[in-house]
Amino acid sequence: MVFWLLTTTKEEKARRLATFNIFSRKSGILCLGVQFLYTRYLSKKTQKPRPTSGLLLYTIQKSSTYYGIVCTTLYIITFLAPYLWGMLDFSNRKIDELIISGVWHIDQTFGIEVLNQYLHDLMLRQSGFSVNEIGLSERRKANAGLVYAADSTPINDSKLIYNAQLTPANSIAVLKLSGAMRVNDGLSSSGVESLVRDFRAAYQNPNISSIILEINSGGGEATAGAMMKNVIQERNKPVISYAWMAGSAAYLAASATDEIIAATEGAQFGSIGVLFSLDKKFLEYYTENNMDIYASKSPDKNAAFRAAQEGDFSKYVQMADQHAAVFQKEVQSMRPLKGSESKIQSTLNGAMFFAEDAKSRGLVDNIGNFNLALLRAQRWAKKKRM
């Protein structure tokens, strides 16, 4: 048992020990309860009172068969529990993998990093670590927006944009787009729906002169990217992007802003492309265990999925091509891409580019620190007022 606990990674060991302790306590309580009840039964049957202490040996001696079976079963469950729990954990991870199915505007390397972080957080939670210990609440706070007064003094109040009376005149709102872009809120980050509400509140606040969208994302759901693009195009005041990484759906959002500033020379931009991610095991399971009956007047409903069940993924490729064409057209309409026709096409082919290369291609306007972003936001606001 000790060998089983020690021959694993640190995180896995913590999970196994936590599981072992939980089941040990529960099975121990059950064993003591059975022991106590059975001893009371023997006391009544033999008319000899028995002390509650030291009853384990007595009950085993009096009824080694039945009590032994019960205790043995409970303790076997105790020792096998971590293994059984691991099976459940594996099943949950298979379910988690289904989350990535769908239409994505995302850099896949970034997506895999986000998925690994998500699975790591789940494992820590299953090991007994609290949300605070994992740091989810701190991540959410770090992703909250803030306001910079006209003298560049930061005001760490993400809700200030909703209160014009308390907002200093000519302030700059800094809103953050971080992590995998999802429409709905997650455990450690706000969804795009929440960010859209923040943008509209900043638009309606007369004391907010401009907005900086700080981006550190490789993209996410296609719908989330479209929502961000649309709300930025609704603007009635300047919006500029300050990005550490802006890939795929996140770059679509950035391309809708008035200016894009790369935070460092190592910042990356691009991944203008589309992918569908399908779980092959789920597709096999669904095909083998379900029968879908379609109306005779609906021959094209779910055509791509039905074809995929037969091993034909060409319809998904066609759909991806259509999404990609729309994506590329939108970026070209919002950004002054540079270079020859072949260079522009290579810019749109789905690769990520470091800041200097991205600037030469027209994906980025400037490279600099956050002070530059504040300065540019102030100049854009002044230009707007003129």
Q: Which domains does the chain have, with CATH numbers?
A: 2-96 (no CATH), 136-275+318-385 (3.90.226.10)
pLDDT at 57: 43
Please, which residues have CB within 8 angstroms of residue 118's CB and are 6 or more apart in sequence?
Answer: 96
| Residue 19 pLDDT | 54
Question: What are the start-end ranges of the E strands in 256-365?
Answer: 259-262, 268-270, 275-277, 352-354
Contacts for 185 with CB less than 8 Å, ≥ 6 apart: 191, 193, 194
Q: So what's the pLDDT on residue 322?
A: 93
Q: Are strands 239-247 and 259-262 parallel, antiparallel or unpaired?
A: parallel
Look at residue 386 in the predicted model and tell me its pLDDT.
58
296, burial (CB in 10 Å: exposed 0-12, middle 13-18, buried 19+): exposed
| pLDDT for res 31 | 54
Contact 155, 45 (CB under 8 A): no
Per-10-residue mean pLDDT of the chain, 386 residues long, equals: 46 52 51 55 52 43 48 48 41 41 65 69 75 71 85 89 94 93 74 93 96 94 93 97 96 97 97 87 89 92 92 93 94 96 95 97 98 96 78
Residue 174: the pLDDT is 96
Q: In this predicted structure, what is the pLDDT of residue 91?
A: 38
- Could you give the dihedral angle defined by the CA atoms of residues 108, 114, 118 and 120, in that order, rounded to the nearest 10 degrees? 100
Residue-level pLDDT at 82: 44
Report the candidate in 55, 83, 87, 95 with the shortest Cα–Cα distance to residue 71.
55
Please give the helix or strand (H or E) that residue 172 lies within, else none: strand 171-178
The pLDDT, as a whole number, for residue 2 is: 42
Position 43 scores a pLDDT of 54
